[in-house]
A = this chain, B = another copy of it.
Amino acid sequence: MYRTNTCGELRLANVGQTVTLAGWVQRSRDLGGMTFIDLRDRYGITQLAFNMETNAPLCEQARKLGREYVIQVTGKVIERSSKNTKIPTGEIEIEVAELTILNEAKVPPFTIEDQSDGGDDIRMKYRYLDIRRNPVKNNLIMRHKMAMLVRNYLSDRDFLEIETPMLIKSTPEGARDFVVPSRMNPGEFYALPQSPQQYKQLLMVAGMDRYFQIVRCFRDEDLRADRQPEFTQIDCEMSFVEQEDVLNTFEGLLKHLFKEEKGMEFGAFPRMTWHDAMRRYGSDKPDIRFGMEFVELNDVAKGHGFGLFDNAELVVGICAPGCAEYTRKQLDALTDFVKRPQVGAGGMVYVKCNADGTFKSSVDKFYDAEALKAFADKMGAKPGDLLLILCGPAMKTRVQLCALRLEMGNQLGLRKPDEYAPLWVIDFPLLEWDDETQRYYAMHHPFTAPKPEDEALLDNPSRWGDIRANAYDIVMNGVEVGGGSIRIHDRTLQNKMFHTLGFTDESAAAQFGFLMDAFTYGAPPHAGLAFGFDRLCSLFGGVETIRDFIAFPKNNAGRDTMSGSPSPIAKEQLDELKIELKK
């Protein structure tokens, strides 16, 4: 071992001991008579002291050490004269007697500090230096701890972690697969799993009863800011359970994580149906850290000669508390916000509920004070509040208002990163209509069970949109952290579901035949849930981007700029695989 102690553990109690430390030169201060070096490792920073008077050659050697040099020192632990209360080792320093340079270092291309001067691109290219910085390092440590907590919690509850294959069968349904050409079976391909969905269901058929896996998944989708081609799921499945059992089990897991990792305790997580979530927040993943719930205004809005409202399917608004003083400029900015293509509203109506009891709106032409008071009353507004109103087709308008509500939440500082508001969203629709392809798709996946009381509607195509699924999402702070469903374990129902989704018997058999076969040999009732682990970590870290919680992430073009991957491969490799590049 190159050290007797880490750089994070020496205290006053160790004074007098002779120790050996190894680590990186974080910083060096030459005060003439003394040279001080902050020595860093994963565990902390310890100050090294070199004295020009007592050991000039050593001190001079120390002065030549560059940033990020790897060194080993031996010396005595002494009490510091001027203590640093900011770090746990701040009461001591090492009076160095021996110094060995283990490795030199070029000057790093950005500062290895909590606040680095390096931009995103250069930090990604030199990710191994970026990880030396506390924020990234601590994220990875937290991720490790979370994974350990999850595993021990589930294992203690009879869940078995079972590894499922990474080289599986490609299924055209759903997102795009990454594929892997098989050399031994020319012309054939494996796919990388988008999730172990079918395998975990097979494990239930196999009687494994409770399965989990922290597992890498892959999706070849066009990447958005916060999406990675490979990501990690906490994937779970249970047999002989009902929805209530699943919700309680994984609510318990989340509470355990909150308690152990953040010291936070929660009562029962609230639950909301998908329909309520859409009606009250315009989102299936509402951020309920703050109120500002939607108020539907058709009855007070219509019939005043304002055509936009009169002709709209829905007039709906939120009440922004204490914002009546918003300036023209601020209001214009909000209007611009909702008109951005990402939001897509035609415009925004505001009503200021002034502190003096008067009203001022952008539609004063059509609504007198009394009419505006009706808006305010309906929305429970107090003097000083600001009403923001959108109108149009119901669902579309709700989604637009959701964006505005979150923007107001941001502006008012109501979305605090250290506050957590978990929520179960339940009773999702089973099927989702797609205008483009003019057909229904499974909202979760084709194995999700309809609510038994809605099952009969499967025979009535005109009511397919009304069928509710035994599907649930766990949502936190406006982010979907996980989701799952009761699975169909009955083959007849599964076949009906496939037909609903436009599969022929043949295409269903070609894709899912082995799962369907399995269901004929005694499939138990089962259900499951999967958490997005990268996302869960970033949420616990109070940070938006999942990249900060992945050791070696890829950029938005799917590239690892550090290793230069993907890259061309040798012609011999292609030949062996019996494939060629298309010109």
Please give the residue numbers on chain A whose beta carbons come within 8 Å of chain B beta carbons, in ascending order: 1-3, 6, 22, 24, 40-43, 68-70, 72, 102-106, 108, 126-132, 137, 140-141, 143-144, 147-148, 151-152, 155, 160-170, 172, 176-192, 198-199, 202-203, 205-209, 216, 218, 220, 222-223, 229-230, 232, 240-242, 245, 489-490, 513-514, 518-525, 550-552, 554, 557-560, 562-570, 573, 575-582
Bound Cα distance from A160 to B144, whole angstroms? 6
**Residue in B182, B522, B565 whose CB lies within 8 Å of A558:** B182
A41 touches B207 (CB 8 A): yes
Other CB < 8 Å A-B pairs besides A128-B205, A167-B229, A199-B552, 7 of them? A42-B208, A148-B152, A167-B230, A180-B180, A185-B558, A188-B567, A216-B216
**Residue in B104, B131, B187 whose CB lies within 8 Å of A581:** B187
Known: A1-B245, A179-B573, A566-B190. A167 touches B554 (CB 8 A): yes
Residues of B within 8 A of A554 (CB): 165, 167
A183 touches B176 (CB 8 A): yes
Known: A202-B128, A551-B163, A582-B579. A569 touches B189 (CB 8 A): yes
A521 touches B105 (CB 8 A): yes
B230 touches A559 (CB 8 A): no
A128 touches B565 (CB 8 A): no
**Residue in B181, B216, B513 whose CB lies within 8 Å of A179:** B181
Residues of B within 8 A of A127 (CB): 202, 206
> Within the complex, what minimum Cβ distance (angstroms) separates A89 from chain B?
16
**Residue in B141, B151, B180, B550 whose CB lies within 8 Å of A192:** B180
**Residue in B155, B183, B230 whose CB lies within 8 Å of A165:** B230
Bound Cα distance from A572 to B521, whole angstroms? 35
Bound Cα distance from A131 to B204, whole angstroms? 10
Bound Cα distance from A178 to B166, whole angstroms? 12
Residues of B within 8 A of A216 (CB): 163, 166, 216
Residues of B within 8 A of A162 (CB): 140, 143-144, 551
B551 touches A199 (CB 8 A): yes
> Within the complex, what minimum Cβ distance (angstroms) separates A183 from chain B?
6
A interface: dominant SS = loop
A-B interface, 3 closest residue pairs, ranked by CB to CB distance from nearest: A105-B522, A131-B206, A169-B565
Known: A523-B70, A552-B199, A566-B185. A103 touches B489 (CB 8 A): yes
B131 touches A208 (CB 8 A): yes
Residues of B within 8 A of A151 (CB): 148, 151
> Within the complex, what minimum Cβ distance (angstroms) separates A170 from chain B?
5
> Within the complex, what minimum Cβ distance (angstroms) separates A387 from chain B?
45
> Within the complex, what minimum Cβ distance (angstroms) separates A559 from chain B?
7
B3 touches A523 (CB 8 A): no
A3 touches B240 (CB 8 A): yes
**Looking across the interface, which residue of chain B has its beta carbon closest to that of A179?**
B569
Known: A131-B206, A207-B131, A521-B68. A514 touches B220 (CB 8 A): no
B206 touches A128 (CB 8 A): yes
Known: A151-B151, A188-B567, A552-B199. A108 touches B163 (CB 8 A): no
Residues of B within 8 A of A164 (CB): 551-552
> Within the complex, what minimum Cβ distance (angstroms) separates A176 from chain B?
7
**Looking across the interface, which residue of chain B has its beta carbon closest to that of A562?**
B514
A169 touches B241 (CB 8 A): no
A521 touches B567 (CB 8 A): no
Pairs A–B under 8 Å by Cβ, sample size 10 = A1-B240, A24-B207, A102-B525, A105-B521, A137-B208, A170-B573, A176-B573, A183-B220, A188-B568, A199-B551
Residues of B within 8 A of A180 (CB): 178-180, 192, 566
Residues of B within 8 A of A42 (CB): 207-209
Residues of B within 8 A of A147 (CB): 161
> Within the complex, what minimum Cβ distance (angstroms) separates A286 from chain B?
29
